[in-house]
């Protein structure tokens, strides 16, 4: 593939007006969300100095995703996704506004942070499946993998922009201003959604309410290998590797004895690498389990390399390839699920992806925080590397078994036997 063709393929989905609007709004809104992520982690450490408390706050945000995520996916399959996202984004904006006002007034306490975190979690349990599956409705099916990868690029461009701004704002204005700015940033994505042309959306037929639809979703995913394997990989990776809101603040403050600026820089350098990984995934949007396994193994190796760095500048440099590998892993898994799922099931399938990727945080975050506080911050990062290596190995074993089964089936056909039963050679 020549360079010009690769570039055209990389940005193919941006030809779609609705998709361009959505991406523009997402870039602004998610930048604000990353600002809040940095600010909230630093605020908790400032109030308590505890890695365990930080893990509990993350768990409070993501426990509702674990408990209600599948319900959110079913709701996304039943209703107009665009209108649902407008409602959930409005709720998230209000939560950020309350958090900002309380912090600016100097009234913020840990019980308030826990309560707002649960509010955010409940809303995200509805918002995430809708947003994930809505990407597939803005473009044609042949462009879904590309659209998913470009969406990841935007999300991680925001990871660079948001933390970079956050470090400055915390130093100059304080954490409360971050939360207020995030509340305002949601206006961008809400306006983008309202400005779309509904007639140009590729909306799937809405699922009619009936009994057993949650169970049907679980059964569908478990019985479909191309969905089951990526989800199991993401359970391991999501639980232990993607707990950077817990491990990286500890890495900055405990290991290198530095401040919020270093934590923000860690997130930005990782985000820069993730943009590169997302562009690679968009240019060559293959979605095989074997490619996912290799990407996951690369992610695990890169995480372990970060833990070996002797100082914060070296760690920042090492986070660039770590970010790239992380985004390849997530983009391939996400695209595989969207491409291989029935449109009528996509909301429920993507809710399970959200549970695997984010809903596992209530389990992983306190564990990672405990490890960081009692064994050392390097180990809180390293556990994610070990989990990713295990997940990647599982993926490779599964791919090898599938390849062996196909070869055996092909040999049976060549010898005059069908793939499912024996028979005599014809003629």
Q: Taking the CB of residue 81, how many other CB atoms lie within 10 A of it?
A: 28
Question: Any idea which residue has 């990868």 for tokens?
Answer: 149
Q: What is the pLDDT of residue 276?
A: 85
- Please give the DSSP secondary-structure letter assigned to residue 50: -
Per-domain residue ranges of the chain = 13-195+218-414
Q: What is the pLDDT of residue 397?
A: 93
Inform me whether the pLDDT recorded for 272 exceeds 70.
yes
CA atoms of 404 and 373, how far apart (whole Å): 45
- Please give the DSSP secondary-structure letter assigned to residue 207: P
Predicted model pTM? 0.69
* Top CATH class, 13-195+218-414: mainly alpha
CA atoms of 370 and 392, how far apart (whole Å): 25
Closest CA to 12 of 143, 109, 121: 143
pLDDT digits (tens, 9 = 90+) for 298-315: 999 999 999 999 999 999
Q: Evaluate whether 38 touches 267 at the Cβ level (below 8 Å).
A: yes
Q: What band does 190 get if pLDDT is binned at 50, 70 and 90?
A: very high
Q: In the structure encoding, which two tokens stand for residue 2, read together?
A: 């020549």
Q: 147-173 b/e with 16+ CB inside 10 Å = b?
A: bbbbbbbbbbbbbbbbbbbbbebbeee
Q: Pick 182 or 419 by higher pLDDT.
A: 182
Q: Which residues contact 172 (CB under 8 A, 6 or more apart)?
A: none
Q: What band does 208 get if pLDDT is binned at 50, 70 and 90?
A: low
pLDDT digits (tens, 9 = 90+) for 402-419: 888 777 777 776 666 555
């Amino acid at each position: 593939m020549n360079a010009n063709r690769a570039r055209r393929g990389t940005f193919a989905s941006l030809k779609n007006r609705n998709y361009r609007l959505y991406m523009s709004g997402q870039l602004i809104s998610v930048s604000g969300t990353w600002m809040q992520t940095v600010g909230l982690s630093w605020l908790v450490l400032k109030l308590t100095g505890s890695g365990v408390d930080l893990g509990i706050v993350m768990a409070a945000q993501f426990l509702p995703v674990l408990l209600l995520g599948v319900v959110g996916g079913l709701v996304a399959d039943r209703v107009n996704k665009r209108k649902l996202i407008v409602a959930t984004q409005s709720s998230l904006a209000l939560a950020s506004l309350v958090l900002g006002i309380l912090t600016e007034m100097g009234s913020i306490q840990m019980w308030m942070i826990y309560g707002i975190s649960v509010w955010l979690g409940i809303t995200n349990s509805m918002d995430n499946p809708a947003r994930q599956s809505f990407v597939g409705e803005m473009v044609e099916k042949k462009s879904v993998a590309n659209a998913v990868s470009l969406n990841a690029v935007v999300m991680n461009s925001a990871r660079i922009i948001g933390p970079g701004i956050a470090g400055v704002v915390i130093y100059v204005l304080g954490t409360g201003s971050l939360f207020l700015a995030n509340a305002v940033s949601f206006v961008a994505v809400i306006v983008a959604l309202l400005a779309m042309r509904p007639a140009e959306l590729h909306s799937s037929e809405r699922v009619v309410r009936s009994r057993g639809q949650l169970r049907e979703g679980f059964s569908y995913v478990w019985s479909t290998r191309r969905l089951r394997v990526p989800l199991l990989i993401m359970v391991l990776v999501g639980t232990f590797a993607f707990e950077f809101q817990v491990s990286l603040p500890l890495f900055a403050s405990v290991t290198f004895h530095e401040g919020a600026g270093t934590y923000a820089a860690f997130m930005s350098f990782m985000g820069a690498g993730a943009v590169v990984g997302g562009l690679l995934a968009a240019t060559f949007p293959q979605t095989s389990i074997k490619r996912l396994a290799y990407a996951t193994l690369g992610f695990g190796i890169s995480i372990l390399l970060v833990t070996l760095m002797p100082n914060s500048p070296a760690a920042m440099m090492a986070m660039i390839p770590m970010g790239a590998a992380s985004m390849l892993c997530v983009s391939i898994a996400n695209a595989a699920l969207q491409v291989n799922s029935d449109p009528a099931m996509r909301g429920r399938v993507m809710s399970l992806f959200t549970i695997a990727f984010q809903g596992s945080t209530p389990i992983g975050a306190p564990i990672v925080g405990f490890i960081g506080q009692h064994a050392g911050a390097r180990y809180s990062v390293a556990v994610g590397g070990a989990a990713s290596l295990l997940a990647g190995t599982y993926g490779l074993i599964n791919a090898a078994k599938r390849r062996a089964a196909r070869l055996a089936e092909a040999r049976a056909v060549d010898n005059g036997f069908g793939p499912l039963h024996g028979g005599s050679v014809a003629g």
